[in-house]
Structure 1
Amino acid sequence: MHRYRRAKIVATVGPASAAPEMLKALFVAGADTFRLNFSHGTHEDHAKVHAAIRTLEQELGRPIGILQDLQGPKIRIGTVKDGKLSVTPGERIRFVLGGAEGDKEAIPLPHPEIFAAVMPGHHLLLDDGRVRVKVVGLGSDYIDAEVEIGSVISNRKGVNLPGTVLDLSPLTAKDRADLAFGLELGVDWVALSFVQQPGDMLEARGLIGDRAGLVAKIEKPSALEKIDDIIRLSDAVMVARGDLGVEIPHEEVPGRQKELVRACRLAVKPVIIATQMLDSMINAPTPTRAEASDVATAIYDGADAVMLSAESASGLYPREAVEMMDRIIRSTEHHKLYRSILQATEAGEEQTAPHAVAAADLAEAIHAPAIVAFTSSGTTAARIARKRPAVPILAVTADRDVARRLCLLWGAHSVQAADIASYDDMVARASELVMAEGFANQSDLVVVVAGVPFGKAGTTNNLRVIEVGR
């Protein structure tokens, strides 16, 4: 079973998709990696889903990626009198550190790190930006603000601070407990929410080590200012356009998306585009034309993966949403302008691993049906994928965990197989696998990339053209 597309699909699991039969339906429809959103559900819920995915993996004989998405620090106001209050532009309101059931003169904001960091002129956005206020005065336990955009403020609504870097760990006590649980389960990726600075990545890496890939979720303006270092310290990046779109102007989001995809390609790191991609399919069997265009744009940009959130987690049409995303990707990748647009956004030549890079050009020159990459850590396959070749990449690894993580990489069809030990073994194994996986036929020419000594990470130094079956 292999996909007739290069970009991958990440599907979030929730009440609508947690049953084993639905998980299988989503995988058959096109899901490559499943996201477990730890903002919702219990450990028991996630353990059942994880076990069902691993059972499905054994049944179908294909690696399946599992991504654990940590909740991160949620900043919210407390409760207000009567459950809600209305504010209008030009009005003055006050946030206070303590208190309960406040009014406009004392809206509870139980986050001391905000009072320590905010400055006059900074903005607070409430309820996904529906209310916008500007700080005009402050003390150790209060913040005075002027309303710029008014609406209704209700209990426990979220607060965003786009111009303020908070002295706040991205890992709460809940996140640490969830992370320990996820690593014990054996998740393949861990997504870190609300990354502000490179130090956040180092903190998470210290806990995760090499037990899972680390995904930086980009949803804060402060992360954009340090993006090169954050990408360097990550194993993959998620462009989380929901919170990012609240904290930066809407009109800047598309350009930032393109910048992030290009930066990740340059750094040889997978990049996921997320949030509201087929949002109307939560309640409808088809998306809007604008949503279809949004998914296609991410594919034209060269993103490694696109993600479904509520569409597959709690929507009425989870299978149809995956099928639709699969159809949009395949249609886009077969469009006559797709290759030229990808080439126009080429990230530039990489200065290392020339054989991995040359494999893409050579495969196209000889019209090979596939590139076979023997990879211990996944890096060889990633370097080939960076060129976005016109042919699929058969990524062969002896490491089960690497095979699962490659389910997030553009163009990679991962297979777990025993390590090769010689050139003859390499040729025989490549011939066997490309035919068994349905990528090539007898006598086809395929490009094979490996490293000598075989089975050792970081030794990509061998490029060969072989005739299948000879």
Structure 2
Amino acid sequence: MRRNRKVKILATLGPASSEEAMIRQLHEAGADLFRINMSHASHDVMRSLIQKIRSVEEQCGRPIGILADLQGPKLRVGKFKDTTVELKAGQTFTLDSNDAPGDATRVYLPHPEILEAVKAGDRLLIDDGKLHLKAETCDGKSIVTTVVSGTKISDRKGVSLPDTILETGVLTDKDRADLDAVLATNEVDWVALSFIQRPEDLVEVRRIAGGRVGLMSKIEKPQAVERIEEIIELSDALMVARGDLGVEMPLEAVPGIQKQLIRACRRTGKPVVVATQMLESMISAPVPTRAEVSDVATAVFEGADAIMLSAESASGSYPVEAVSTMASIARTIEREPHYPGIIYAQRAQPEATGADAISLAARQIAETLDLKAIVCYTSSGTTGMRASRERPEVPVIALSPVIQTARRLSVAWGLHCVVAKEPTDLDDMVNRACRIVVEEEFGAPGDRIIISAGVPLGTPGATNMLRIAYIGADGQSGV
């Protein structure tokens, strides 16, 4: 199943897409990997979805990536005597440690870490920013605030803290239990971490994961944006989580931050996913708005590795149509005359390593000689990521003997992943590459390709060889 596009599509599974037949339809419509939202999925549901995805993978013969998205800390106020209270701008309102039901003057905040961390002048945003409070005095047990804007507050509404750094880590007890369940399956390829604030938040997760999954940091807090270079260094991938980011930062700042994050990831060769409300209207309508089409197009033009569907595919009325629409937009944009120039202008300089120089040379040779494909042998996935970082105009086929590597690479821009045995010698390496190019319909006898690999064969991280090969009449290397 060849995709005629470079950007990947990540589709969230949920009530509208939990059956195997629907998962297969989504995959055939264009979904390259699937997201399981642990905020809503029990461990049994997660295991059932994984089994169904792997069944579809076997039927379709393509490696499919799976992302488990951890819920992260959910900060909420307590309950009120009358469920909802009306507030006025300028009035005083207190959040405290008293667990009695709230009223128009105060409410219980069951998070001592917030009571201890908030300082005078910090903002507290309630209910996705609908209520804006400003802290006036804080004593560790209560926060006296002034209502800046908003008219009401009700039971269990969420609290966002754009100015406050919490000393507690991002993993809650629920997240630790979910992470243990995810790792126990040995079938999940990526874990997304919610509400990252600082690079230190990744340390515990990386220790627990032990390299068994890739770590994708969701950027949804201003504190994370401020330390983005350090966070990228410790992450395996990034997600631009525009929902909560748009609550904690001015909405008009989000597009610029999106560009900043995509370009930072492209410089370092780390995959980046753009998420949230990309085709929001397709939850209930069979076609998107013009603005949504432009939003998806912007992410594609920027060179994002993947674009994500949330409720559109998880609980909407048109999940298959949403995936098909997103794939169609991506294909159309990538054929635009201006697209190669925009991608080229943002291309990062290679690092001063042999492997990076090989990847750069492979792209330049392939584009100069108009070769049909770049074929890279990759055991750990590093060579595949380097090839993706170059954003070549020609297709890239990543061959790996490790199915977990092929699945993890399914998020990377432009990579067509194939599980293939380790070649026995150089001739076998070239013949196998030529044969797979023909089988996967990227080339035909008479075409030329370029192959990157490491010698000695099978040595991880030793990419040090390029070979231009001619596909012979029998589909193998010719002379």
TM-score over 0.5 for the pair: yes
**Letter paired with 2:4:** Y
Q: Which residue of 2 aligns with 1:228?
A: 229
CA distance in 2: counterparts of 1:69 and 1:462, whole angstroms: 38
Write out the 4+ residue segments of structure 1 that deviate beyond 4 Å after TM superposition: none
How far apart in 2 are the matches of 1:349 and 1:43?
Answer: 42
- In 2: Cα distance, 1:289 partner to 1:231 partner: 32
2:45 equivalent in structure 1: 45
Give the match's secondary structure for 2:358: helix
Is 1:136 matched up with 2:115? no
Residues 129, 246 of structure 1: 8 Å contact kept: yes
For 1:357 and 1:97, the matched residues in 2 are separated by: 58
**Quick one: which of 394, 398, 403 aligns to 2:401?**
398
Partner of 1:458: 461
Deviations 1:435-455 (A, max 9, x none): 011101012110111111111
1:76 matches 2:79 = no
Q: Which residue of 1 aligns with 2:192?
A: 191
Correspondent of 1:428 among 427, 431, 444: 431
How far apart are the structure 2 equivalents of 1:149 and 1:176? 36
**1:349 to partner: Cα distance:** 3.3
For 1:176, what is the secondary structure of its paired residue? helix
Contact 1:266 1:350 in 2 (8 A): no
Distance across 2 between alignment mates of 1:22 and 1:95: 46
Structure 1 equivalent of residue 146 of structure 2: 146
Taking the aligned partners of 2:101 and 2:325, their CA distance within structure 1 comes to 45
SS of 1:303's equivalent in the other structure is coil
Shift of 1:81: 2.0
CA offset at residue 358 of structure 1? 1.3
- Deviation sequence 1:366-407 (CA, Å, 0-9, x none): 111111000111111111111111111100000010010111
User: TM-score scaled by structure 2?
Assistant: 0.97
> Hey, what does 1:19 align to over in structure 2?
19
Partner of 1:407: 410
Q: State the superposition RMSD in angstroms.
A: 0.9
**Partner of 2:475 in structure 1?**
none
1:56 aligns to 2:56 (yes or no): yes
Deviation at 1:291, TM superposition (A): 0.6
**Which residue of 2 is the match for residue 89 of structure 1?**
89
Aligned-partner residue type, residue 170 of structure 1: V
Alpha-carbon contact 1:281-1:315 (below 8 Å) kept? yes
Residue 347 of structure 1 and its aligned partner are, at CA, apart by 2.5
How many pairs were matched up? 470
SS at match of 2:331: helix
Contact 2:116–2:141 (CA<8 Å) still a contact in 1?
A: no
Aligned match of 2:470: 467
CA distance in 1, matches of 2:69, 2:41: 12
Post-superposition shift, 1:225? 1.5
Query: Once the 2 structures are TM-superposed, how far is the Cα of residue 285 of structure 1 from its aligned partner?
Result: 0.7
Deviation at 1:106, TM superposition (A): 2.1
* 1:80-105 deviation line (CA, Å, top 9, x unaligned): 12111122211111111232321132
Please say if residues 312 and 318 of structure 1, whose CA atoms lie closer than 8 Å, have aligned partners that are also in contact: yes
Q: Which whole-Å CA distance do the structure 1 matches of 2:153 and 2:349 have between them?
A: 48
C-alpha contact 1:162 1:247 (8 A) present in aligned 2: yes
1:211 aligns with 2:231: no
Deviations 1:41-67 (A, max 9, x none): 211111111100101111111100000
Aligned counterparts of 1:366 and 1:343: Cα–Cα separation in 2: 17
TM-score by length of 1: 0.99
Q: Is the 8 A contact 2:359 2:390 kept in 1?
A: no
How far apart, in 2, do the equivalents of 1:12 and 1:58 lie? Answer: 20
Q: Which moved more, 1:100-109 or 1:19-28?
A: 100-109
Q: Which residue of 2 aligns with 1:159?
A: 159
Quick one: which amino acid aligns to residue 369 of structure 2? I
Partner of 2:287: 286
Q: Which residue of 2 aligns with 1:361?
A: 364
Query: Matches of 1:277 and 1:130 in 2, distance apart?
Result: 22
Question: Unmatched 5+ residue regions in structure 2?
Answer: 473-477
Percent identity for Structure 1 against Structure 2: 51
Q: How far apart, in 2, do the equivalents of 1:232 and 1:208 lie? A: 17
